Structure 1
């Protein structure tokens, strides 16, 4: 079972405990202040300020609160860089996983060495270091190049249906990464050779393969995984930007649907917006625009 560990100050620890209160367990180990389980992830908060996240979605939950400290199993596996980063390869990344409103989007990109140089000149880099207007501008230029790419969107209604069937967010992401990469390979048949495939790692490779098998697909065995891969691979960075671009486009559509700009993330502002939407359109309407299993739904009630 994968795990991540973070260290929080008193103020952030208080916010974390409040956030997971609806999912708390009555049993807790010595020196802990809370144990909760959500989305297949067990969260244990300790008096020392350390918080341990365990399970398929540990990386996603930990990322909501801060940088991972120490070395988790997947971090140690991801330490070695693949030897094809400066050669033609495929990269994939996703967006929207920690946002209450909006879908999950995944993109995969194939780029040759020449194309990678062009992407760098256009400003492609880790999307987390760029503001949304800049991402929009750069991606519009990127989509005019001759790179091969694929982008997938899991809308909120389908997301909620799968979640109710027992799918974790980790399984949904693995399913989408798998198909985005398969799309790239089909598009590039006879046109291009790739030296490797790099996935921005959100779970241990064994868990990724297990997730893909659970969707009745056959997982590829030629994948490499790295945490923060978008910092090392231009194709992954381009994929992260395209995924973010698609997510922002979908958020614009949903904002027009509700009549005001929806807030990204899962903050208190989101809670206020949920109340406003429920009051005007009813709670079932959230199924069309939100990941309703997030704790924000219960808080808004």
Structure 2
């Protein structure tokens, strides 16, 4: 996706202008705002239309919580994957990530293999969409999932995340982690092989494979992408719960190590916590617990 036009409210445009004040440029005729952020050009017009051009559009939209402004046509482009009939009964390796929308804590990616013989077992255990469960429920259930099915978990801690983020956008990072988790779990299963791979879709498949150019891949012919993957196969639900538990444990671990309560998410309470850390430890300390490219960093500086 090299260009995208959204309709944003005056408040949303004003928020972008305030958040990225240091990235403003002179707007063209009929425009009210022009931003240049890491190779991405953003132009807001008086009509409310906002044109995004360049690299990292999906990354920027996700980071600034603008997904709800994407129109039906653009959403369909991201949700056009289909699965074969009876897919939910197949033996599948599913993968999902957690933490990409949270300012504090790691980015975690998990892959889980659920054979057709194990599907009923996981359903009986209560494995389902982790968004419908409390954190305590997830933490209680994940050890049982880990005993029941093979899995692979990868954790990218904030300090390393910020280093990699200098040269790769968020979706590229996620693609590399998903692919690595899928490959490592496939190797672990050998000689048994899954009937398919299902990735909880975060970008279009052609873009995913573009990010992975030169990398060893799992079988592309057996790989599927779909949004809300946890509702299409229990393997993705299991992977999502494993990744969620690892993210929560990572958040707790960082809080204990550095002595600050690190809330999840990216709201106002996160800005205040970041400002406190900035005040006492500066950007060096903040970079050990937070994803610095989020808008929360600039908001925390303003709070100081």
Q: Trace 1:164-175 onto structure 2 (pairs within 5 A).
A: 164=166, 166-175=167-176
Task: Tell me the distance in 1 between the aligned counterparts of 2:13 and 2:126.
Answer: 37
- 1:62 maps to which residue? 61
In structure 2, stretches of 5+ residues that fail to align are: none
Aligned to 1:75: 77
Between the aligned partners of 1:56 and 1:226, the Cα distance in structure 2 is: 23
- Residue 107 of structure 1 corresponds to 110
Secondary structure of the residue aligned to 2:66 is: coil
User: Distance in 2 between the 1:225 and 1:250 partners?
Assistant: 27
Query: 3-state DSSP class of the match of 2:73?
Result: coil
Find out whether 1:89 has 2:128 as its counterpart.
Answer: no
1:226 is displaced (CA, Å) by: 1.0
Note the 1:228-239 alignment, pairs <5 A. Answer: 228-239=228-239
Does residue 140 of structure 2 align to residue 137 of structure 1?
A: yes
**Alignment CA distance shift 1:240-1:60 (3 Å):** farther
Check whether the contact 1:56–1:207 (CA below 8 A) recurs between aligned residues. no
Number of the residue aligned with 2:271 = 271
Q: Return closer, same or farther for 1:160/1:113 CA change in 2, 3 Å cut-off.
A: same
- Equivalent-residue separation in structure 2 for 1:241 and 1:5 (angstroms): 34
Q: Give secondary structure in 1 for the equivalent of 2:97.
A: strand
**Which residue of structure 2 aligns with residue 153 of structure 1?**
155
CA shift in 2, pair 1:97/1:209, >3 Å: same
Where does residue 281 of structure 1 map in the other structure? 281
Q: 1:121 to 1:154 in 2, by over 3 A?
A: same
Task: Give 3-state SS (helix, strand or coil) of 2:118's partner.
Answer: helix
**Structure 1 pair 281–208 and aligned structure 2 pair: CA distance change class (3 A):** same
Q: Distance in 2 between matches of 1:267 and 1:202?
A: 22
**Kept in 2: contact 1:27–1:35 (CA 8 A):** yes
Contact 1:272 1:300 (C-alpha < 8 Å) held by counterparts? yes
Q: Number of paired residues?
A: 295
RMSD of aligned C-alpha atoms? 2.7
CA drift of 1:131 comes to 2.3
Residues 51 and 110 of structure 1: CA distance in aligned 2, closer, same or farther (over 3 Å): farther
TM-score of the aligned structures, taking structure 1 as reference length: 0.85
- Deviations 1:27-52, CA, capped at 9 Å, x for gaps: 3574x554445466555555565656
The equivalent position to 1:218 in structure 2, one of 216, 219, 223, is: 216
TM-score by length of 2: 0.84
1:2-21, aligned counterparts within 5 Å?
A: 11=11, 14-21=14-21
Give deviations 1:111-143, integer Å, cap 9, x for gaps. Answer: 012312222222222222322222212212212
User: Structure 1 residues 298, 120: CA separation in 2 closer, same or farther (over 3 Å shift)?
Assistant: same
CA drift at 1:172: 1.1
* 1:134-186 deviations in Å (ceiling 9; x for gaps): 221221221221x111010111121111122x111111111100110001110
Q: Distance in 2 between matches of 1:85 and 1:35?
A: 46
Check 1:258–1:48 CA distance in 2 against 1; reply closer, same or farther (3 A cut).
Answer: farther
Distance 1:117 1:178, change over 3 A: same
